[in-house]
Structure 1
Amino acid sequence: MQPRHLVPLNALRAFEAAARCLSFQTAAAQLFVTPAAVSHQVKRLEAYLGVKLFHRGHRTVELTGEGEALAASLGELFGQLDLALDRAIAPATAHLRVSTMESFAAKWLAPRLHRFHRDCPELKLRIETGDEPTDFVRDGIDVAIRYGPGGYTGVHAERLMDAPVFPVCAPVPEDATAIAVPDDLRHRTLLHDDSAAGRAGVPDWPAWLQAAGATRVDATRGPVFASIYLAQEAAVAGHGVALGLAPLVEDDLLRGRLVKPFDRALPNAYAFWIVRRHEPGRHPAVDAFCRWLRKEAAGD
Structure 2
Amino acid sequence: MKPRHAPPLNALRAFETAARCLSFQKAAAQLFVTPAAVSHQVKRLEDHLGTTLFERGHRTVTLTPEGAALAASLSGIFGMLDLALDRASSAATAELRVSTLESFAAKWLAPRLHRFHARHPDIQVRIVTSDQLADVGRDGVDIAVRYGPGTGSGGDADPLMDAPVFPVCAPGTVRMDGRPLASPADLAHVTLIHDQSAEGRPGVPDWAAWLAFAGVSTERADVGPVYPSIYLAQEAAIHGHGVALGVGPLVEDDLRQGRLIRPFQAQLPNAYAFWTIRPAAGRKEEATDAFHRWLEVESGASQTLRRFSTAVP
TM-score by length of 1: 0.74
Structure 2 vs 1, CA of residues 219 and 294 (structure 1 numbering), >3 Å: closer, same or farther? same
SS for the counterpart of 1:136 is: coil
Aligned to 1:100: 100
1:132 and 1:177, CA in 2 relative to 1: closer, same or farther beyond 3 A? Answer: same
Q: 1:35 to 1:111 in 2, by over 3 A?
A: closer
Matches within 5 A, 1:59-98: 83-84=83-84, 86-98=86-98
Question: Where does residue 59 of structure 2 map in the other structure?
Answer: none
Confirm or deny that 1:110 pairs with 2:103.
no
Cα gap change, 1:282 to 1:91, in 2 (>3 Å):
farther
Secondary structure (helix, strand or coil) at the match of 1:97 reads: strand
CA deviation vs aligned residue, 1:207-251 (integer Å, no higher than 9, x gap): 000011002752122111111111111111111100000000111
Classify 1:152/1:62 alpha carbon distance in 2 versus 1 (closer, same or farther; 3 Å): closer
Matched, 1:191 2:177: no
Q: Cα offset for 1:59?
A: 9.3
- Distance in 1 (CA, whole Å) between partners of 2:45 and 2:211 is 61
CA offsets 1:237-276 (integer angstroms, 9 cap, x no match): 1111000000001111111111111111100000111112
Distance 1:287 1:192, change over 3 A: same
Q: Distance in 2 between matches of 1:137 and 1:149?
A: 20
Q: How does 1:1-300 map to 2 (within 5 A)?
A: 29=41, 83-84=83-84, 86-172=86-172, 176-215=178-217, 218-279=220-281, 282-300=284-302
Alpha carbon RMSD of aligned pairs, Å?
3.8
SS class of match (2:141): coil
CA shift in 2, pair 1:112/1:187, >3 Å = same
Contact 1:190 1:223 in 2 (8 A): yes
With normalisation by structure 2, the TM-score equals 0.71
User: Of the two, which has the highest radius of gyration?
Assistant: 1
Cα deviation for residue 277 of structure 1 reads 1.2
Change (3 A) 1:103 1:77: closer
Distance in structure 2 (CA, Å) of the matches to 1:59 and 1:248: 39
Q: How far did residue 132 of structure 1 move?
A: 0.8
Contact 1:158 1:274 (8 Å CA) reproduced? yes
Aligned-residue identity in percent: 55
Shift of 1:136: 3.3
Q: Distance in 1 between matches of 2:94 and 2:4?
A: 29
Deviation at 1:102, TM superposition (A): 1.1
Is the deviation greater in 109-118 or in 134-143? 134-143
Residues 31-58 of structure 1: per-residue CA shift (max 9 Å, x gap): xx9878x56xxxxxxxxxxxxxxxx779
State whether residues 167 and 262 of structure 2, in contact with CA within 8 Å, keep that contact through their aligned partners in structure 1.
Answer: yes
Q: What amino acid is the match of 1:198?
A: G
Give secondary structure in 2 for the equivalent of 1:95. Answer: strand
CA separation of 1:212/1:77 partners in 2, compared to 1, >3 Å: closer, same or farther?
A: closer
| Aligned AA (1:97) | R
Give secondary structure in 2 for the equivalent of 1:111. Answer: coil
Q: In structure 2, the residue corresponding to 1:156 is in which secondary structure?
A: strand
The separation in 2 between residues aligned to 1:75 and 1:225, in whole angstroms, is: 28
Q: 1:216 to 1:155 in 2, by over 3 A?
A: closer
Q: 1:105 to 1:34 in 2, by over 3 A?
A: closer
Name stretches of at least 5 consecutive residues in structure 2 with no aligned partner: 17-37, 55-63, 303-313
What displacement does 1:88 show?
A: 3.8
Distance 1:174 1:185 in 2: 10
Q: In the comparison of the two structures, how many residue pairs are matched?
A: 265
